[in-house]
Amino acid sequence: MAELNAANAGTYKFDNDFEINRLGYGTMQLTGEGTWGPYSDPDQAASVTKHAAELGINFFDTADSYGPWFADRYLAAGLKQVSNRNQIFISDKVGQTRQGPNVWTPLGESSYLRQQVEVSMMTLGIDHEDLLFLHRIDPNYSVADQVGELVKMQDEGKIKHIGLSQVTVDQIKEAQKYAKIDAIENLYNVANHKDDDVVDYAEAQHMAFVPWFPLNTGKLIGADSPLSTIAKKYNVSEAQIALAWLLKRSPNILPIPGTSSIKHLEDNVAAANVKLSDEGFDKLSKLSH
């Protein structure tokens, strides 16, 4: 059996300090229902992040608004126990406020963005953000002001790379007038790749593309999965097919499946060993609507 290691997915180079394994991990499942409140078993949550690092994952995606703060606390607790902590790259996000389960409200006021970066760094135990996404562009503030505040923090050494989340190509182009944009994080998976143009633009501009909901929140797995036939053919799980499709779609794609289960984490990391044929990839690409 092939070794279980995220490195088998290949690497993506952010800069001279950071070449990361393309298969990452997203922390959003490490909260209560509706991404609100604490996870039911905090020790388990921290163990999942620690085990992810042990399996070669060195790219972790998180946000202040997951909990809020709870996912960040578990991530910090898990990574504290890892021997290669200085080789781990965290992408973080600010710019969404929370009022309750499943309620998200963008806020792009510059002093708020700054506050959230400062508190996030304290919570995560870091002295700078490796990659900081503007979680949403807030239509009540100009892109120049929102991205401009991130650039100020970049100039102060608090942010290394700047990214945007859930944006169109036109919005990326506007933001590029004010900052070097190094990554995009949009909803994207084998069953929903309406943002193909954004993936192509990101690749052409040498930006990472981080697809959120890579497993379509788990809907790509289970009895009604549209991936079950091909998964049987490859003798792998449906989750692995969904992740293998993303890994083949573009060398700039960095999938971040979320899970609170060690078993599912290991299943997802094994996707790094699955190589789809061109024919299999094309067939799967037609599933999106």
Ligand X SMILES: NC(=O)c1ccc[n+]([C@@H]2O[C@H](COP(=O)([O-])OP(=O)(O)OC[C@H]3O[C@@H](n4cnc5c(N)ncnc54)[C@H](OP(=O)(O)O)[C@@H]3O)[C@@H](O)[C@H]2O)c1
Region binding ligand X by CB under 6 A among candidate stretches 3-11, 74-82, 198-206, 257-265: 257-265
Q: Which of 56/258 has CB closer to ligand X?
A: 258
Q: Which positions from 37 through 56 interact with ligand X, judged by CB under 6 A?
A: none
Instruction: Verify binding: residue 68, ligand X, rule CB under 6 A.
Output: no
Q: Binding marks (x or -) toward ligand X, 158..177, rule CB under 6 A?
A: -------xx-----------
Instruction: Verify binding: residue 27, ligand X, rule CB under 6 A.
Output: yes
Instruction: Verify binding: residue 221, ligand X, rule CB under 6 A.
Output: yes
Rounded Cα distance, 2 and 274, in Å? 10
Instruction: Verify binding: residue 213, ligand X, rule CB under 6 A.
Output: yes
Q: Which of 257, 274, 276, 280 binds ligand X (CB under 6 A)?
A: 257
Q: Which of 268, 272, 274, 276 binds ligand X (CB under 6 A)?
A: 268
| Closest residue by beta carbon to ligand X | 258
Q: Which of 98, 199, 259, 272 binds ligand X (CB under 6 A)?
A: 259
**Total Cβ atoms within 10 A of residue 4:** 16
**CA pseudo-torsion sign 54, 47, 69, 63:** positive
Q: Which positions from 182 through 211 interact with ligand X, judged by CB under 6 A?
A: 185
Q: Which of 156/222 has CB closer to ligand X?
A: 222
Q: Which of 34/156 has CB closer to ligand X?
A: 34
3-state helix, strand, coil in the chain (%, to 5): 40, 20, 40
* Pick from 189, 146, 197, 143: nearest CA to 169: 197
* Pick from 87, 16, 28, 12: nearest CA to 54: 87
**Total Cβ atoms within 10 A of residue 278:** 8
Q: Is 95 helix (H, G, I), strand (E, B) or coil?
A: coil
CB 166 within 8 A of CB 136: yes
Q: Which of 159, 175, 246, 256 binds ligand X (CB under 6 A)?
A: 256
Rounded Cα distance, 231 and 214, in Å? 16
Look up 201 and say whether it is catalytic. no
Q: Which of 68/258 has CB closer to ligand X?
A: 258
**Total Cβ atoms within 10 A of residue 160:** 17
Helix axes 238-249, 278-285, angle to 10 degrees: 100
Instruction: Verify binding: residue 239, ligand X, rule CB under 6 A.
Output: yes
Catalytic pick from 12, 25, 66, 201?
66
Catalytic positions are: 66
Q: Which residues make up the interface to ligand X (CB under 6 A)?
A: 26-29, 61, 165-166, 185, 212-218, 221, 237, 239, 256-261, 264, 267-268
